Amino acid sequence: MSRALTGSSPSRPRVVKLAETVARSVVDEIVARGRLPGEPLAPEAEMADHFGVSRATVREALRILETHGLVVLKPGRNGGPQVGEVDPVTFARSLTWFLQMRQTRFWEVLEARVLLEPMMAALAARRRDADGLRALAATLEDYPEDDHGYLEATQRFHGVIAGISGNAVLDLFGRSLKEVYTGRVVPVEQPAARRELVLREHREVAEAVMEGDPDLAEDRMREHMVELSLGFERRYRALGDEFVGWW
């Protein structure tokens, strides 16, 4: 089965449904008004009057946004639509739909991370600030021995690097790809020696970022990610050929 991208012909643009237009307007207003996650939005009936559409159209628009995690629909008498939180986990869940439809294998996810992570480390070294460096330093303490604690510690390190990069696109994609990867791979036990090596490599990358050396930060992160890739190939070769699935 071919994985070539398909799309509408430029001469025949896709017809946008009214509910999609309303959904876009809701997002526009959330951003324009600086609404924060958890803040309530206007009730369904009020939205219908505001946008001049039926409640059924508003309901469909809110479901579209809920599917992508941009809106949370709270049930009950005091419920209603609320601003959702745009986070890597939510984006990763949507991303896995498309990766599954493209028959993407896990080794491809790892390959993308090997390419993206060094780029973000270099940007982090260039754009570091006091808050980012404090957050980075906090990720370098000894990692917990339990699997869950170890996973959270490694995710924090890569997440902070992505955040310091200052590029919202790379930040979101980098963190989301890590979520896709760790969601399937990390439940496999990591040897103690490997965990010690990961912590040492993280500290070396962080040192280069803190010193403001983008070339060194990029090289060290690439070495770290290549080692991760080689270790993955040695231990989980069969897993690499699995297709990414929605979760």
pLDDT tens by residue, 116-174: 999 999 999 999 999 999 999 999 987 887 877 888 888 899 999 999 999 999 999 99
Segment 83-96, tens digit of pLDDT: 999 888 889 998 99
| CA gap 138, 135 in Å, rounded | 5
Three-state SS for 100-156 is HHCCCEHHHHHHHHHHHHHHHHHHHHHHCCHHHHHHHHHCCCCCCCCHHHHHHHHHH
Question: Considering the domain boundaries, does residue 114 fall inside one?
Answer: yes
Among 83, 106, 126, the domain-final residue is 83
Shared-domain flag, residues 115 and 63: no
Q: Which of 141, 147, 149 is nearest to 190 (CA)?
A: 147
Counting Cα atoms < 13 Å in the Cβ hemisphere of 125 gives 22
| CA gap 238, 227 in Å, rounded | 18
Among 83, 104, 121, the domain-final residue is 83
Q: What are phi and psi of 136, to 5 degrees?
A: -65, -45
Question: Considering the domain boundaries, does residue 192 fall inside one?
Answer: yes
Q: Among 55-64, 113-122, 237-246, name the one with the lowest average pLDDT.
A: 237-246
Shared-domain flag, residues 107 and 166: yes
Report the pLDDT value the prediction gives residue 244, as an integer from 0 to 100.
93
- The tokens describing 97, both together, are 């739909």
Number of residues in the chain: 247
